[in-house]
Chain A
């Protein structure tokens, strides 16, 4: 029974892809780490057989590409074996990044929705603001992130908020674009219908535009939440790498600790996948409450 269900569902294809990625990862580890292994062997005047080469490339302290088991071991060491409050705990760093992500995501969502509402209801806003919103996203975030941190620091704001602001800067954009489309999505007939009942703008918004826009909102939120995480990580880079996943990546690169960088990367991607999955769950629950066709 269980075997059948696994075989017929998504599980098997997903496992196959994961297996393929891990196999490719091990292979690349051999290729990328081989020069250093040969170099070491050359200094000791020994030659490496294939078995020895593989063993050597998968167990270096500072490999170009750490092997999956090395990253897993590092993850285990920095999550399970230390208290979550410790500064050495990856959970501690992940939480610092996550808190900035969530605050930035919330601010970006609210800002994005407010802008979209203004754009849909005001012709002047539509003509004047939209080009600036698009222009804002053409500036490389790496260039503007330090400015935001410096400016906010001079106003006395440090810590969580500057990172959240950078997060917001990335996440409001998909929300604006999706919501403008969503709020304009209702059929002409439904708008006419409300007009014949002499409904006000506010009623039209609450009873038609907003519910019609929700599917667009959730699609946007999935993009926005991932962008928020990227924003929070980038926000941690110029702060002197004190704490957070971005800090782990930066300090890892200072000291050539590739295993540390990769474990922070894996943690970040687990975080992103979980956040997107949570938005997807909220979408399904909302859909069910709204009686959407399953």
Chain B
């Protein structure tokens, strides 16, 4: 798992986060130890309330842990955020409705102070990367859900973050569109070699995309299994999902999920 050339990008140890609610404390994360290495495609899977999204939000400095430590690129999440170390793709595309697609993708670049020419160049490049050429001047409402999500991914890729954190980005899309975007995402990961943290509900999606799968379970949110994928990272056509290796991985994820929730179902 820790071969010499690979560097840890996200390191969590003893990470806990407890939300105080009216119904008493909710243990969203309990004593999570996890290392994500450079170039990994790590999926987080588990039922609602298992803390998969919370973990991503803590890494992104959108939530603050109650105890334990987490380092992102060797820095605290706040420092990593200020250094713009990661791009974050939310569950809904989160596009600004009054901006065209092009202007939406340009927004982080404007905020980060890139020159006008550089903005232009980067927007053009990432729009090509997610195959949205020709839709520059459209507004979000004029696009399909899948295209909106692609624009959102392009926006996260527009600046030079080498980490991509994705919180159920394809959760609201139908299966056909989701398959297509999964393929495109893998292709994109192969070309850019960014480190990707990917939250999902779908066993198929996790098994198809990931180099590692982190299985989590709720109450308290914790890691129950970490599965190394045996599939070749650079050659995954969609029909690999019918292979024996793939089905074994999927079965192990399913077992992990079942073990984590058995006590309460």
Contacts and interface: CB of A to CB of B under 8 A. Distances in A.
Given A189-B90, A291-B139, A293-B141, A198 B81 contact: yes
A176 B107 CA distance: 28
Nearest to B112: A197
Contact of A194 (B87, B99, B111): B111
A290 interface: yes
Q: Which 6 A-B pairs have the closest CB atoms?
A: A290-B98, A291-B139, A189-B94, A196-B88, A293-B141, A197-B108
Interface of B: 60-62, 81-82, 84, 86-88, 90-92, 94, 96-100, 107-108, 110-112, 139, 141
27 contacts: A192-B62, A192-B90, A193-B88, A193-B90, A193-B94, A195-B62, A196-B60, A196-B61, A196-B81, A196-B86, A197-B84, A197-B108, A197-B111, A197-B112, A198-B82, A199-B111, A207-B96, A207-B107, A207-B111, A211-B96, A211-B98, A290-B98, A291-B97, A291-B99, A292-B97, A292-B98, A293-B141
Interface string A268-294: 000000000000000000000011110
B81 A189 contact: no
Contacts of B60: 196
Contacts of A161: none
Contacts of A193: 88, 90, 94
A43 B81 CA distance: 93
Sort chain A's interface into a size bin.
10 to 19
Interface of B is mostly: loop
A198 B81 CA distance: 7
A190 interface: yes
Contacts of B139: 291, 293
B98 A189 contact: no
Contact of B94 (A190, A211, A290, A293): A190
A155 B91 CA distance: 59
B86 A189 contact: no
A225 to B, nearest CB: 24
A194 B112 CA distance: 11
A189 B60 CA distance: 13
A128 to B, nearest CB: 27
A197 B111 CA distance: 7
Contacts of B94: 187, 189-190, 193
Contact of B62 (A196, A208, A290): A196
A203 interface: yes
A292 B98 CA distance: 6
Nearest to B90: A189
Q: Which of B61, B84, B87, B96 has the most CB of A within 10 A?
A: B96
Contacts of A293: 139, 141
Contacts of B90: 189, 192-193
Given A193-B90, A207-B111, A293-B141, A198 B96 contact: no
A185 B97 CA distance: 13
A207 B98 CA distance: 10
A207 B84 CA distance: 18
Interface in A152-203: 187, 189-190, 192-199, 203
Contacts of B88: 192-193, 196
Q: Which of B92, B110, B111, B141 has the most CB of A within 10 A?
A: B111
A192 B94 CA distance: 10
Given A197-B108, A198-B81, A203-B111, A291 B86 contact: no
B100 A291 contact: yes
A165 B233 CA distance: 71
A265 B173 CA distance: 58
Contacts of B84: 197-198
A43 to B, nearest CB: 71
